[in-house]
A and B are shown apart, each in its own frame.
Chain A
């Protein structure tokens, strides 16, 4: 499964876990995913760990974790070695430059898509938090830890406050 996940494993993970093997129901999957999304770290790796351990205990968790990481790690290490060796070749440099332009575009598209629900719900607080983090990290280049230590508690407090004010 790890190798099929081109440009993101999540879609494949869902198809395999819910549709093909019926290891989890769709609701269980969403709940597990939500949990892994607010925890720090690589979501899909966390998901593999939690998923594996729900099915077969801690050994299952470790098996899923290794199964997800090891094969692509081998491939990408080979790619890294090739890049270290041939990275200076002109044609390859040009190809990589082109690919990275497109890859950045894809990332921007993901960000835009994720922003749409906030904008549709007219979530002013969310958009302000989003913009503030964007400027602090992207423009001012402040260290991540410093920004999050301020931003996470602030955002949680505001969210609780807003929910009390308008129970939607």
Chain B
């Protein structure tokens, strides 16, 4: 840890700020997490970031827990706790107040307009997440084929995603990727 400030404080500031810009959920914030963790702070390598994403997908619970993993790798259990709370508490508080506000002022047409405006934005962000993660993981032709295969299967069928993750793991274990 070669930055001067307390790493836990850095985590709290980083993710607390990021959460308020995470339009469209945790997957939309992945490019920003990657930029900060890999390019700006050098907390981890590209490859480690991809590993962490894989772990966060493998374990149960909300996708946002990728920040728990980043926090842990920076500052252990305290970092994990700090990063997760910083990412979740401010927006949960915001959601609580906005929902109370909306139930009082009855139906307004603003939510619909804002939502229509934000949906393409958040899809664009998630697409960027896919691109950045693909660049970090797909270092070989076979790896790229596994990614496209999983994308096609998940897009065209209702197969449980778990089986695709498992197949990827088996292929990796066999040394094909």
Contacts and interface: CB of A to CB of B under 8 A. Distances in A.
B32 A143 contact: yes
Nearest to B35: A141
Given A39-B98, A69-B62, A109-B150, A163 B126 contact: no
A38 B143 contact: no
A46 B92 contact: yes
A103 B133 CA distance: 9
Interface string A113-143: 1110010000101110111111001110101
A26 to B, nearest CB: 18
Given A76-B68, A159-B113, A104 B96 contact: no
B61 to A, nearest CB: 2
B60 A3 contact: yes
A102 interface: yes
B50 to A, nearest CB: 5
- Which of A93, A104, A126 is most buried by chain B, counting CB atoms within 10 A of its CB? A104
Contacts of A101: 137-138, 143-144, 146-147, 150, 168, 171-172, 177
Contact of A73 (B20, B61, B123): B61
Given A38-B114, A144-B31, A61 B96 contact: yes
State which size class the interface on B falls in.
35 or more
B163 to A, nearest CB: 9
B108 to A, nearest CB: 12
B95 A96 contact: no
Interface residues of A, number: 96
A154 B129 CA distance: 22
A63 interface: no
A5 B147 contact: no
B69 A76 contact: yes
Given A49-B92, A75-B59, A101-B138, 4 more contacts: A48-B92, A98-B167, A108-B134, A134-B125
Interface of B: 17-27, 29, 31-32, 35, 39, 48, 50-65, 68-69, 72-73, 77, 80-81, 84, 87-88, 90-96, 98-100, 102, 111, 113-121, 123-134, 136-138, 143-144, 146-155, 161-162, 164-165, 167-177
5 contacts: A43-B24, A81-B72, A98-B172, A129-B124, A156-B117
